[in-house]
Structure 1
């Protein structure tokens, strides 16, 4: 059994001004068939896991490209085409293969390509023909498209947000593909368009219960997999939005019935599953008067999440913390190359005037000028990121008046792990307030530390007014813009 594997991913915020270029992929790492060996705890973690599954069964692995980039604007056309074509060339050289398994995102768009994953899968199908099973693991913030569907034998989306189940979903798809190669199953898929746009955390009810419900259906005879693609709200492409699909063993009627049933159940939850979002001052009103063993208040700066394509340098929350004189705070990571450079030049212990953030446009706010002390400098810093390691680049810890501790990073990325801060010496348990530039992936590590977790909206790059997102390519027939886009269908 010979498996061809590859990993190509980025999440495209089509409203972001800056395109995604080759340098954005190189910042994380571009590996040409050796990521599982050269970077097994970072970019190559999933391919290392998948390689282990195949080889444990006595199979052969042909590993192709592995690269990913932080979310941003559309990928430049020559960049996408070069990355895609490397995978296709490797596949041609590897023929014959028994199966193809890919880790993609599902919301990658490039100049001239609204559906990069579908384009890649269709070209792979042309090469391997109809008899070789092709499967994709997708981020749950994917756009499930007809081209993906028609070009693949099975698609599995992550179920958890934050994404703590990547390896589990990889095992799920591997079993389906392995059994397909052996002739034990014949996967067929039916999809239900939920016609919803939003952001839904699986860390609380009723979404926790809906994940359990999908898993319950997966235990039914004949059902191979159930996925809910939440969609990516800031991706303006024609087939965007939440969709639920069911993969069965050669039973299209069962797949269609279950997809419609589960889709209707998810639709019925729509008013109960959205994030509870606070404005800046309402969130800061929750800061405890004194620190105790209950831990800090943890606030997510959701509109400035680099994981959604934002710049990671907005100052709206920082400015109000300073203006209100809130003490004993840790906040970050700010993507600010200039500030990092100045602090590195000044050195640890230097007391300097520093202009922080507000550099990438109106969604970043205005810079904040502070008198700071450089407390620590760590070169090539990394953070834990849902079972892997993610680079933050050269990082600096500066402290301003009133115990305001600020983390500055030279690589734009969201805050995942506690060690983003603690790796520079910034303690968190003794803080009154911790602010992270993330939407939800921080939750796995920060929630156990927190007395309370809050989600804060600002005039940042990611609008959470889903009804008002200015789509041009996606149709307007979705909830919450339309009260009932299904009319009498459900």
Structure 2
């Protein structure tokens, strides 16, 4: 079969300080740069990313793939109107030139909000549907954090979401989307759809599928794959926990089910939704203030068994933070932490100054806190330049594994017993190579601070003696009651078992 393949990925934090312009999608960062046309099919080989899994599975099945456009940008505030329209213009031009197609596959996130409308993926799917007509199947993969909308459901034949957070099954999810298309080509009837919106928001750090209650809920999903319920078979079912810092009416968790009959899809969706609702009280966790977290980590730093890891979740570049707040770093320095490191701080200016000074130099820097992501001042201190790199390396962990990462000019700086990895491009610290490539072995640290919420657990989790989730300055607010929501749907609970949004 001839299948068009494309993707347009962005996770939008509407409270973040900076927007995603076209340049953010065009550049390489944690993932490849914008791909258009034939280069797309070879750009993702071996990567843990949905489009890579789809391409490998579809080619193995003998299908002819027609490349469109694929791009992604680091999570931030809204996608600019210019960026969205330029990418969609490219995608629709490629579709127009594609000739006869049997299907379309799209690698989407599911939580894109644009300057000119809230439902980015709904608009992408609607425009592609209009271009190819009602008879061509459209299947898309989604991130586990998708904020699913009715428009997304209406303009696609199936949406298949990840089942792990950290997202170690991204490529696997792309392969599942390919398998669903193969089932359609093999005679699977047009599937009935069921969407159930859950009436409470789940903080990102509580969504981790390595811990309860998410671990059990995602295990339960597997019990419904291919199951016959009543008079029909369930083909696929997903539970998306949502991306909570997105202030629009469809924000929040969802259950999506597809089946041969409306009754089968509805029964599966209802049963999983009931379990999600029953688990509400368990989706809460302790948040540490930076001062107490650092003090606790220092007190335990003499013990063996790997570092205590502090997750600087509110400045996570993977959730809209700029990666340059300094609340935790200030505490490390103030409390004279030893064998401690922080990664990765986004500060192109400081990285350039360190590179100019050269390895072995000592210089006074105003470090971090330059993008306005929090109400704080840069750290004004003297640092030793330990090492400089170009920030180019191959990621090897379960999340970023296979990706050729590009952090730009990167500096390893030291002040006393504290080291900081300072990069020229934003990326959440979710792969050990982000430290190894500049000479830091995280296994030998007593304290490790990562600007990440959960993805770090895939590669750093096995090293960690303990993990503390830290509430330090940044736009990815962990306690959702502190976000100034204005546009959520009336009645949704802003935190598990919390007060309902009044509208």
The bucket for the TM-score relative to the shorter chain is over 0.9
TM-superposed CA distance for 1:483, in Å, is 5.1
Q: Which residue of structure 1 lines up, in the alignment, with residue 409 of structure 2?
A: 394
TM-superposed CA distance for 1:55, in Å, is 1.9
- Per-residue Cα deviation, 1:336-377 (whole angstroms, up to 9, x for no partner): 011001001000111111221111226162211222111111
Query: Structure 2: how far apart are the matches of 1:68 and 1:74?
Result: 13
Q: Which residue of structure 1 lines up, in the alignment, with residue 225 of structure 2?
A: 218
Query: Structure 1: how far apart are the matches of 2:177 and 2:166?
Result: 20
Secondary structure, in 3 states, of the residue corresponding to 2:239?
Answer: strand
Secondary structure, in 3 states, of the residue corresponding to 1:233?
Answer: coil
The structure 1 residue matched to 2:215, chosen from 208, 212, 216, is 208
Query: Structure 2: how far apart are the matches of 1:88 and 1:334?
Result: 38
Query: Structure 1: how far apart are the matches of 2:50 and 2:496?
Result: 39
CA contact (8 A) 1:153 1:188 kept: no
Pair 469,179 (structure 1): closer, same or farther in 2 beyond 3 Å = same
- Is 1:66 the counterpart of 2:81? The answer is no
The structure 2 residue matched to 1:40, chosen from 21, 45, 56, is 45
Alignment of 1:328-339 (within 5 A): 328-339=339-350
- Is 1:125 the counterpart of 2:129? The answer is yes
Q: Which residue of structure 1 lines up, in the alignment, with residue 287 of structure 2?
A: 277
Query: Structure 1: how far apart are the matches of 2:476 and 2:92?
Result: 34
Pair 330,345 (structure 1): closer, same or farther in 2 beyond 3 Å = same
Query: Structure 2: how far apart are the matches of 1:417 and 1:217?
Result: 33
Higher relative contact order (CA 8 A, sep 6+): 2
Pair 375,483 (structure 1): closer, same or farther in 2 beyond 3 Å = closer
Q: Which residue of structure 2 lines up, in the alignment, with residue 27 of structure 1?
A: 27
TM-superposed CA distance for 1:383, in Å, is 5.7
Query: Structure 1: how far apart are the matches of 2:490 and 2:459?
Result: 37
CA contact (8 A) 1:109 1:116 kept: yes
CA contact (8 A) 1:180 1:187 kept: no
TM-superposed CA distance for 1:270, in Å, is 1.1
Q: Which residue of structure 2 lines up, in the alignment, with residue 309 of structure 1?
A: 320
The structure 1 residue matched to 2:271, chosen from 244, 255, 261, is 261
TM-superposed CA distance for 1:108, in Å, is 0.9
Q: Which residue of structure 1 lines up, in the alignment, with residue 362 of structure 2?
A: 351
Query: Structure 2: how far apart are the matches of 1:362 and 1:178?
Result: 45
Q: Which residue of structure 1 lines up, in the alignment, with residue 430 of structure 2?
A: 416
Secondary structure, in 3 states, of the residue corresponding to 2:249?
Answer: coil
- Is 1:326 the counterpart of 2:341? The answer is no
TM-superposed CA distance for 1:85, in Å, is 1.7
The structure 1 residue matched to 2:239, chosen from 228, 232, 236, is 228
Q: Which residue of structure 2 lines up, in the alignment, with residue 100 of structure 1?
A: 104
Alignment of 1:401-480 (within 5 A): 401=416, 403-480=417-494
Query: Structure 1: how far apart are the matches of 2:53 and 2:173?
Result: 11
Q: Which residue of structure 2 lines up, in the alignment, with residue 8 of structure 1?
A: 8
- Per-residue Cα deviation, 1:432-482 (whole angstroms, up to 9, x for no partner): 100000011111000101111111011321212223422222224112469
Q: Which residue of structure 2 lines up, in the alignment, with residue 298 of structure 1?
A: 309
CA contact (8 A) 2:69 2:91 kept: yes
Secondary structure, in 3 states, of the residue corresponding to 1:429?
Answer: helix
TM-superposed CA distance for 1:65, in Å, is 0.7
Query: Structure 2: how far apart are the matches of 1:219 and 1:150?
Result: 22
CA contact (8 A) 2:280 2:497 kept: no
Structure 2 unaligned residues grouped into runs of 5+: none
Q: What is the number of equivalent residue pairs in this alignment? A: 483
Query: Structure 2: how far apart are the matches of 1:485 and 1:342?
Result: 48
- Per-residue Cα deviation, 1:128-167 (whole angstroms, up to 9, x for no partner): 2221110110111111111111100000111111111112
CA contact (8 A) 1:313 1:364 kept: no
CA contact (8 A) 1:383 1:419 kept: yes
Length-normalised TM-score, structure 1 = 0.94
Secondary structure, in 3 states, of the residue corresponding to 1:155?
Answer: strand
TM-superposed CA distance for 1:186, in Å, is 2.7
Deviates more, 1:250-259 or 1:272-281: 272-281
Pair 56,26 (structure 1): closer, same or farther in 2 beyond 3 Å = same
Query: Structure 1: how far apart are the matches of 2:471 and 2:495?
Result: 19
Secondary structure, in 3 states, of the residue corresponding to 1:94?
Answer: coil
Q: Which residue of structure 2 lines up, in the alignment, with residue 286 of structure 1?
A: 296
Q: Which residue of structure 2 lines up, in the alignment, with residue 360 of structure 1?
A: 371
CA contact (8 A) 2:110 2:148 kept: yes
Pair 323,383 (structure 1): closer, same or farther in 2 beyond 3 Å = farther
TM-superposed CA distance for 1:41, in Å, is 5.0
TM-superposed CA distance for 1:49, in Å, is 3.1
